[in-house]
Amino acid sequence: MSVHYSGIGMTSQRTRNRLIERLRAQGIQDEVALAAMNAVPRHIFVDEALASRAYDDVSLPIGHGQTISQPYIVARMIEILRNGMTLNRVLEIGSGCGYQAAVLAQVAKEVYSVERIHPLYQRAADYLSELQIKNVSLRYADGNIGIPEAAPFDGIIMAAAATHIPQPLLEQLAIGGRMVLPLGTQEQFLWLIERTEEGYCKTRLEAVRFVPLLLGKA
């Protein structure tokens, strides 16, 4: 697979810098998250026909009824997940094309990412390999189950909307860990789940729009 590092203006560092400035203006304050977004060339993760929109703050189709998330949402979820802390082991549910995993790889020591749609899993693996990102472990599996053998995770991030929090993911969250996920069907909100010695603390955040979390592999 050939990855398009260079090309016309839309792939330039200046274009990427403009996106980062827009994210700052929208309220993203975590400079580590912003630097991670700036380090990852989003244009290589989208079809060439859409490359001119790669640094717009919009979600874009990646096939199979899935999307690459809006940059603001990626930055916001990572900002919430990090909470100013260093992340060691993170689980991502819904690799998609691998973009968010690539960004997470800049801020966490180890990233485990699960994708249920095989062609997307393969595409994400190809992109991450081309970018020589070594600290992401991709799995072709049902995201509802997580990766119990790699648990506990100090961060879990979900790129699809669930109707409820899958119990296996709660169990795989380390004490002191944080999970960020969209919940809901017609109306969706981001939720922060924090695990303490006493149990789980749940906080509802802003309204969002994600594809639904589905069961099984495809």
Polymer length in residues for the chain: 218
69 annotated active-site: yes
Which segments within the chain are labelled E, that is strand?
60-63, 66-68, 87-93, 108-115, 136-140, 153-158, 173-183, 188-195, 200-208
**Active-site position among 2, 6, 59, 69:** 69
Residue 11 CB partners (closer than 8 Å, separation 6+): 4, 5, 41, 43, 51, 54
Residues known to be catalytic: 69
